[in-house]
Amino acid sequence: MRMIKSRSAAAAAALACTVSLVAAHSATARTASTPATGTGSPATAVRTPAWQQVGDGITSGVSGLAVVPGARAGRTDLLVARDNKEPGENRLATVRLRPGDRPQVRPLAWEGSEIPVDLEGLDAVPGRPGEFVALASDGTGYHLRLNAARTAARTLGTFTVPGASEDDNYEGFALTYRAHRLVAVWADRGEGSRPGTLHAARLDLARHTFSAPVTAAFRAPYPAEHVRHISDLTIGADGALKVSSASDNGDDGPFDSALYDAGTVSVDGRGTVRLSVRKTPKSLGRYPGHKIEALACLPHSRHGVLGTDDENAGGALRTVTGGPC
C-alpha cells in the first residue's frame, strides 16, 4: 500500500496492529525449505508464521480477501469471500485478527440481489470506505457496501466483465487508482497446459461499465502438476502485479502454492491501460500444504495476508512480511 509521511490516528493504529500481528505470529514461526523454481533461481526459505484456521469443512474456505477500513489499535478486520454454491451456504464473512487471539469469524447476510454462486475474487474500492467488488467465477461482478453494523452486505449494482466466456474460470480480481483513474484487473485461472489470462481495464463504478480491456498470458513455473496458474492477484501502490498460483489435487489435496511478482499495470496520460507481464515471473516464496486463493495487503505497510481454500480442510489465514505487498 501507499506509504505516507503523516498518518492519521486511524492509519497509525492500523500500522501498530500490523506490527504486533506479525510479531505475534513470528513468535511461533518455523522455517520451511522450498525447492528450486525450475527457472534457474536458487531455492528460497520462507519464514513461516502459523496458519490460523477460520473455518472447518468445504464450505469454510477463503476464496477472496480484502481489508475493512477503520482499524483500531490491536486489531485488523478483513472481509472474506467464500466460493459456496448452494442455498443457505455463507458467501461473505468478516474476520477480526488480534495478536494472541483466535480469529473471530462473523458470517454476513447478503442483500439487494440474488445470492451469487462461486465467488472467487474480492477487493476494496479505493477511496470509498465500506465498498467492495466481488467477482464470481463466471465473470459476474457485485458492487457491495457493508452496513454500519457490519452484519450485512448490500449489492449496489452488478456487471459482467468484458469478454466473459463459459470456457473461462475467473479466480482473481483487484482494483487500483492509476493516473486518477479506477482500474480493474481480473484473471482467468488457466489450468495445466493452458496459461492463466490477466485482463485490465478502466472501471466506471457509477455505470458499472468498462473500457476496452487489454490482456496478457501468465504461466506459473511452479507448482508443476494440477496447477491453476492464477488463483488470486493484488496490485501494489506502484502498479506491481502479484499473483498466487496453486495446485489442486481434489477435495482432500495435497495442495501447494506459490507467490510471484508477475509484472505491472499502468495508465498513460491519455487514459490507456497497459499491462506488462514478466517473461520469467519473480518468485516470492512457496507455501506447501495449502491452496492459496486470496491475497490482501494491510494498510501503510509491506505486510500482507494470505487466505486458503483447502476444501475439506476448511480455510486459513496467515500474516506475512512482503509476499503479496
Q: What is the pLDDT of residues 198-223, one digit of tens each?
A: 999 999 999 999 999 999 999 999 99
State residue 41's pLDDT score.
Answer: 39
State residue 138's pLDDT score.
Answer: 98
Q: What is the pLDDT of residues 91-138, one digit of tens each?
A: 999 999 988 899 999 999 999 999 999 999 999 999 999 999 999 999
How far is residue 131 from each of residues 72, 149, 167, 293, measured CA to CA in Å?
Answer: 19, 14, 29, 21
Model-wide pTM > 0.75: yes
* Distance separating alpha carbons of residues 92 and 324, to the nearest angstrom: 22
Nearest to 301, CA basis, from 12, 69, 52: 12
Pick from 44-48, 237-241, 270-274: least confident? 44-48
- Map out the domains of the chain with their CATH numbers: 9-321 (2.115.10)
Q: What is the pLDDT of residues 30-74, one digit of tens each?
A: 333 333 333 333 345 454 458 999 999 999 999 999 999 876 777
Q: Which residues contact 56 (CB under 8 A, 6 or more apart)?
A: 313, 314
Pick from 44-48, 248-252, 259-263: least confident? 44-48
Q: What is the pLDDT of residues 143-198, one digit of tens each?
A: 999 999 999 999 999 999 999 998 999 999 999 999 999 999 999 999 999 999 99
